[in-house]
Chains A and B, each alone.
Chain A
Amino acid sequence: MDDLRQEILTEIRRSLAADLKLPGPVELHYELASDLEVDSMGALVLAVALEDRFRVNLVGIEASSVVTVEDLVGVVERAVRAGRAVP
């Protein structure tokens, strides 16, 4: 896994543990709702943490396209790369 994806995963783990008080292992294939019990407020908290850390905007991201932790990493990664591509 490259550095950016690793950084995003680290931030997701940090926010789950610190902001949402959901400690425990977090792996890429885990489902946010089923495995990690992230509800709609939890998803919002995660999104704000990721927006703040990586300076991206996740407002237009459809919830149903983000099922697993890996999906979330992918969404943030694409947003970061798109932002960097724009001067």
Chain B
Amino acid sequence: MNGPRLPRPKYRTVNEALVASATSRSGLTFVDLAEHETFVPYCEVHASARRTAGALRARGVGIADRVALVFPTSPGFLDAFFGVLLAGAVPVPLYPPVRLGRLAEYHVATAKMIAAVGARLVLTDAATRTLLGKAIESSRPPLGCVTLDDLGRGHAGELEIEPDPGALGLIQFSSGSTTDPRPVALSHDSLMAQLAALRALLPPETDAPQMGVSWLPLYHDMGLIGCLLQAVYYPAPLVLIPPELFLARPALWLRAIARHRATISVAPSFAYALCARRVRDEELTGADLSSWRLALCGAEPVSLDALDHFAQRFAPLGFDRRALCPVYGLAEASLAVTFTPGDREVRALRVDPVRLAATGEAVDGTRAIVSVGTPVPGTDVEVRDQDGGVLGERRVGRILVRGPSVMIGYFGQPEATARALAGGWLDTGDLGFVAGGELHVCGREKNVIVIRGADHLPQEFEECLAGVGAVRTGCAVALGFVPEGEDGEQLLVLAERAKGNGQADDETPTVDRIRRAILTHTGIRPHTVRLLAPGTIPRTSSGKLRRNEALRRFLAGELGPPARVGRLQILLEVIRSALAFARVRFGRGA
């Protein structure tokens, strides 16, 4: 599948886009929990970034140096992000610590990310800095960790470098994967191609001026590139809500859309479900959502139920379900790969989940798989089989992407880059099929579980089970799946009983222990826990657990205990083989 021709980007670099935005009267608005708003015009963002750039240079930050940024959604993020760019350096946004989070793990993950990009400096705010101590101690950035105030901006003069369009413009980490961080390196060229493609997909400003609202984190592709950088590129106003405030009060998002007559907003499936479930009617008294023309939905498997519930619930407030637009993308492609064509309702194909898992064929059935549309301008998509052959309609295979927005590679990781990129094609690790000329994403081959838009490695969950005595050591797999009737991807745990622990009449206590261990250690509640006989989970010849095959068998209903191999069975197998051999020899069958 080939996307339409990519319009020529308006600018060559993010820096050029920022300079151009400063001539508009538009800007960014920050909203807090009490819905107080702070407006920062683009001209101020630009002027402040020039001062940050001057101070960074005075500190010793050079061209192409990486600077890690740890900020909540706040004006400070803008000063730091654009300041680093104007200094000719490369911003690397990292996630800040969360409330009541696991700080020890946070320090380890943050230190790994700082080290993975070889950050020369870590820039943060005063409140966050006090929490970064251990991460900084172990990663030792040469210029240390400083706050914007420490930089003494203004005293060192201003600076504005115009970088080469082919230079590195951003390193982003795919959301949440903490154990084995993959720094996605993007050039200014790639970012501009992505922004030009997105710009071409936005609805025309016939009725109302473009206006965006976002609560997505600014350290994530969708929040940073899709919302913030797109707003600067356009330039159009954007309202920003800190993600933790949205999670605590989902109504803040919808109220901001109504208050600002927003035309565009984007969120993962779970956010639409959260609003339908948690927003109270009285929180939206008098709110009008009719201005919302493009309600993008991506970053995790798109749930038809979640979107349906949302559309029904908020239709009385003027929400038009044709605004819903499922999309597909990934950090390695800058952001967007496919978009649903505008002005039509969400389309889903109902397929037989068992056949899909068992044979890789999308035949008619009951499970709804939402179309994520066609390639964005300039992008090509193919679905391929294991041998690299392009598959026809309704055949499940790996999704590959080619286009100007695809990453340069994983920063400093040539082997991982070579695995992901070959012949100009990016192997997404996701599984899908084409039907009616549109892409449908139905699973993934890479070992990642996406819960509420954040990536998790299966090991995070599997390691929690070490202390659960009734589970065979090292014989449990954690997997992501979308259960019937659920709003999004959920956690599935398949665990083998310890040997000698026969099937008990009541396995509830063991299942409860598994659930508690995972919830306590990771903060995530498993959806389904299944106890299995020893040897049920498929393994490679070297004994490694085959997670994807286990998931395929679970979904196909083929997850039975291993067959007992007795003498009689061996004899039967020999006879069967001999008969098959005879049939082939005598040409009566293949």
Contact = CB atoms under 8 A, between A and B. Distances in A.
Contact of A58 (B100, B249, B519): B100
A41 B452 contact: yes
Q: How large is the interface on B (under 10, 10 to 19, 20 to 34, 35 or more residues)?
A: 20 to 34
B130 interface: yes
Contacts, number: 79
A61 B99 contact: yes
Given A34-B519, A37-B525, A39-B525, A59 B245 contact: no
* Interface magnitude class on chain A: 20 to 34
A62 interface: yes
A46 B99 CA distance: 9
A74 to B, nearest CB: 13
A73 interface: no
A26 interface: no
A63 B247 contact: no
A21 B100 contact: no
Contacts of A64: 102, 104
Contacts of B96: 59
A39 B248 contact: no
Contacts of B452: 41
Interface in B103-118: 103-104
A59 B248 contact: no
A80 interface: no
A58 to B, nearest CB: 5
Contacts of B519: 33-34, 37, 39
Interface string A13-38: 00000010100000000000110010
Contacts of B97: 59-60
A59 B71 CA distance: 12
B127 interface: yes
Given A21-B278, A41-B247, A58 B99 contact: yes
B33 A39 contact: no
Contact of B100 (A19, A52, A63): A63
B467 to A, nearest CB: 14
Interface in B443-474: 452
A17 B88 CA distance: 50
A69 interface: no
B101 interface: yes
Interface string B510-536: 000000100110111100000000000
**Most A C-beta atoms less than 10 A away, residue of B98, B245, B524:** B98
A47 B408 CA distance: 40
B244 interface: yes
**Which of B98, B99, B516 has the most chain A CB within a 10 Å cutoff?**
B99
A45 B274 CA distance: 13
A19 B248 contact: yes
B277 interface: yes
9 contacts: A19-B249, A40-B101, A40-B523, A40-B524, A41-B247, A44-B99, A44-B244, A47-B99, A60-B130
Ordered nearest first, which 8 A-B pairs have the shortest CB separation?
A40-B523, A48-B248, A47-B99, A43-B100, A33-B520, A62-B103, A45-B248, A58-B99
Interface of A: 19, 21, 33-34, 37, 39-41, 43-49, 51-52, 57-64, 66
Given A48-B244, A61-B99, A63-B100, 10 more contacts: A33-B523, A34-B519, A39-B519, A41-B247, A57-B127, A58-B100, A59-B99, A60-B97, A63-B103, A64-B104
